[in-house]
Structure 1
Amino acid sequence: MDWEGQKLAEQLMQIMLLAFAVIAFSAGYFTASFQTMILTYAGGVVLTTLVTLPNWPFFNRHPLKWLDPSEAEKHPKPQPSVNVTTKKKSIKK
């Protein structure tokens, strides 16, 4: 799953769980049944899991292009600069 696919999966998960929570609450309220509410929401969680958890092809629309190892050897890694200056402030009493 690529980065955009992960973002899409998270957005789908949040939208679907919120929608199923509203649907489950409404169904439970109108039927006056806590069991109906819980079963409706549990079904929504299972459906959301089936949609967002597997690595479906529509989550891989933006694949990353990796650099070939032979090409990577031609370019040196950037070295961290050592321009750290530490000054201690004098404490006035």
Structure 2
Amino acid sequence: MDGMIAMLPAPLQKLSSHIDFQGQKVAERTYQVILTIAGIIGFLVGFWTQQLSYAMFTVLGASAFTALIILPPWPFLFRKNPIVWHTPAEPQESGDKKKETKKTK
């Protein structure tokens, strides 16, 4: 992912592209709800007007709207709960060093 960010222009490289796990859950749920509602509305519009194209345009418009909401990693929606990583523990040196003995044949 960092290689792709390095290919972007300098001003865009400063933008964060990561979302947290809770943000992923919110993004997926939002996506599911909006597209389900759009599918129902699209079906009703298409049924009422007897035009399949109206139903398709309704669903495609909702898909574009959903993409505008979901794809950017908005800090107020998808980055509220950052992961706090633990600092790595220093390896402890053992006081009892075993002597390595070689057996000769």
Query: Where on the TM-score scale, by shorter chain, does this alignment land: which range?
Result: 0.7 to 0.9
Q: Deviations over 1:55-76 (max 9, x none)?
A: 01110010011233xxx14267
Distance 2:56 2:67 in 1: 16
Q: How many pairs were matched up?
A: 73
Moved over 2 A (4+): none
RMSD: 1.4
Determine the structure 1 residue equivalent to 2:57: 39
Distance 1:48 1:18 in 2: 11
Distance 1:2 1:23 in 2: 31
> Which residues in structure 2 correspond to 1:54-93 (within 5 Å)?
54-57=72-75, 58-68=77-87, 72-74=88-90
Distance 1:18 1:45 in 2: 10
TM-score (norm 1): 0.73
Unaligned runs of 5+ in 1: 77-93
Distance 2:91 2:38 in 1: 51
1:74 aligned counterpart, secondary structure:
coil
Unaligned runs of 5+ in 2: 1-18, 93-105
